[in-house]
Copies of this chain bind each other. A is one copy, B any other.
Amino acid sequence: MPKIVDHAKQKELVAEAAWRVIRREGLQHASVRNIAEEAKLSVGSMRHYFGSQSELLAYSMQLVSDRCSSRIRRLDLNVPPLEGMKKLIMETLPDTDEKRAESEVWMAFTAQALTDPSLKELAHKVYGHLRYMFEHVITQLSSLGYMSGDLDIEIEIQRLYALVDGLVLHAVLNPESYPASRLEAVIDYHLRSLCPNSPDSLAK
């Protein structure tokens, strides 16, 4: 079914055009017309891929999450546990141009999700997935005995997740103050402070 593949590919191309418009002009200018122009398509033919603007935007938001997930899935985790956890975390941070693009777009969608129910659902789903990932990180480190015994697991999860999202926010707003090296340094620092008993060190 080659047509299907083309169809899916075309949808991604349109969504990426949407990303470019959103980054350049903001979500409020991500009109069907502007996106069609950016994708070099006619307004009419975009309707074959997306039945409405909401559908297009929801797909574009979903694509950000999918791209991040598939990066994480492709990660080689045959490394010492502490470094593996760090790798997971680093995948969510804007330390490359591509990831910076995604973070900017994600942030725009997140703000929109506050008042747009159709986006809100996706925002919550993704929030849940990430929360689950950070839960995994903390429980792993804890069950490996890297963390000191009296730590509060739930708070550590919330602290780590908040730290990461706060860093994403600050890096997006202030990219020049948050180069890849700085983001990595903050994560290394936090993980080290969490894991005084780790036998691995975060070589860098």
Q: Which residues of A contact B (CB under 8 A)?
A: 2, 22-29, 44, 104, 107-108, 110-116, 123-124, 127, 152, 155, 158-159, 161-167, 169-170, 172-174, 182, 185-186, 189-190, 193
Q: Once the chains bind, are A190 and B159 in contact (CB under 8 Å)?
A: yes
**What is the CB-to-nearest-CB distance from A47 to chain B, in angstroms, rounded to a whole number?**
11
- Whether A115 contacts B162 by the Cβ 8 Å rule is no
User: Which of the residues B23, B25, B110 comes within 8 Å of A173, measured between beta carbons?
Assistant: B110
Quick check: A26 and B116 within 8 Å, CB to CB?
yes
Residues of B within 8 A of A27 (CB): 28, 111
Copies of this chain, complex-wide, total: 4
- CB pair B158–A114 under 8 Å, yes or no, is no
Residue pair B159, A189 in contact (C-beta under 8 Å) = yes
For residue A174, give the distance in angstroms from its CB to the closest CB of chain B.
7
Question: Which residue from B2, B23, B115, B186 sits with its C-beta under 8 Å from A23?
Answer: B115
Chain B residue, CB-CB nearest to A114 = B104
Q: Are B152 and A189 in contact (CB under 8 A)?
A: yes
Partner of A111, one of B29, B110, B165, B189: B110
Question: What B residues does A169 contact at CB under 8 A?
Answer: 110, 162, 165-166, 169
Q: Given that A127-B174, A173-B123 are contacting pairs, would A115 and B26 also be in contact in the complex, using a CB cutoff of 8 Å? A: yes
CA distance A159 to B165 in the complex (A): 11
Q: Are A111 and B112 in contact (CB under 8 A)?
A: yes
B167–A162 CB distance below 8 A: yes
Min CB distance, A51 to chain B, in Å? 12
